[in-house]
Structure 1
Amino acid sequence: MDQSPRETAHGAPRGLAVTARGFGLRGPRGWAFRDVDVDAAPGSLIAVEGPSGSGRTCLLLALTGRMKPTEGVAEVGGLKPPRRMSALRRVSALANVTGVTDLEPALTVGEHLRERALLQRRFGAAPRA
């Protein structure tokens, strides 16, 4: 696991520090993840590993303000979920992840394009033709 910081032009680490202690999320079918501890300095690269269904995606969604945690404490760039979830969503992003960002088979091509345009507008990007 590479935890070497990436730097800005001024030499300061780029990115947000992420910490969590006893972090957990319980859903209607039980615990998605529980008792997770994280320490990541600004600019570090960490890997979240585990088998399918182990809660990796839920952990990342909770740390980025997209799911509400059930227990523990976390801080991302000074913002603490669940109190600052909307602020967390503004400073974080999710990448393409197979199984998470795949096209939804129930939607038409037009619906996918409209959804993409709405997401771009929501996150400040100019819609592309």
Structure 2
Amino acid sequence: MESPHGAAVTAESLGMRGPRGWVFRNVTFSAEPGALVAVEGASGSGRTCLLLALTGRMRTTEGRAETGGLRLPKQAAAVRAIAALGPVPMVSELDPAFTVAEHLGERALLQGRYGASLRSLLRPRA
């Protein structure tokens, strides 16, 4: 029998607080490799931020999480190497609530240019 593809994902009392308050809080679940998980909620409820946190692209402020046996946020770089979000309408598009700098920061994170200055983001990559 073939083993399932994917990575196990767990979260325990996971939460993220931003400058405007709690983005999400008290998220607890587990999913085995190959499981299909649906995250539902109203627009602005923190679904995208939760998925970005579980793929090592955003830092949570409370709780514990693991993706593929790697602890978040401590091993976020290793998680980014094995997990990503695919293009999803209304998720991977530009968010009108973000500033240009926030969008560029996210792009830098996705391209692996961590800690890059805004000026370096505007220059073409070699």
1:42 aligns with 33
Find the aligned partners of 2:94 and 2:52 in 1 and give their Cα distance: 19
Matched, 1:12 2:3: yes
Matched residues in 2 for 1:91 and 1:19: separation?
15
For residues 103 and 30 of structure 1, the distance between their equivalents in structure 2, rounded to whole angstroms, comes to 21
What TM-score, normalized to structure 2?
0.72
Q: How does 1:33-72 map to 2 (within 5 A)?
A: 33-72=24-63
Deviation at 1:103, TM superposition (A): 6.1
Q: Give the one of 92, 95, 98 matched to 1:101.
A: 92
Closer/same/farther in 2, CA of residues 36 and 87 from structure 1, 3 Å limit: same
Q: What secondary structure does 2:23 align onto?
A: strand
Runs of 4+ aligned structure 1 residues displaced above 4 Å come to none
Q: 1:96 offset after TM fit, Å? A: 1.0
Identity %, equivalent residues = 57
What do the CA deviations read for 1:101-123 (whole angstroms, capped 9, x no partner)? 2268xx9xxxxxxx8xx95xx6x
Of the two, which has the highest radius of gyration? Answer: 1
Q: Which residue of 1 aligns with 2:22?
A: 31
Compute the RMSD of aligned alpha carbons: 2.3
Letter in 1 for 2:68: G
Structure 2: give runs of 5+ residues left out of the alignment: 101-106, 113-126
Unaligned runs of 5+ in 1: 1-9, 108-114, 123-129
- Normalising by the residue count of structure 1, what TM-score does the alignment of the two structures yield? 0.71
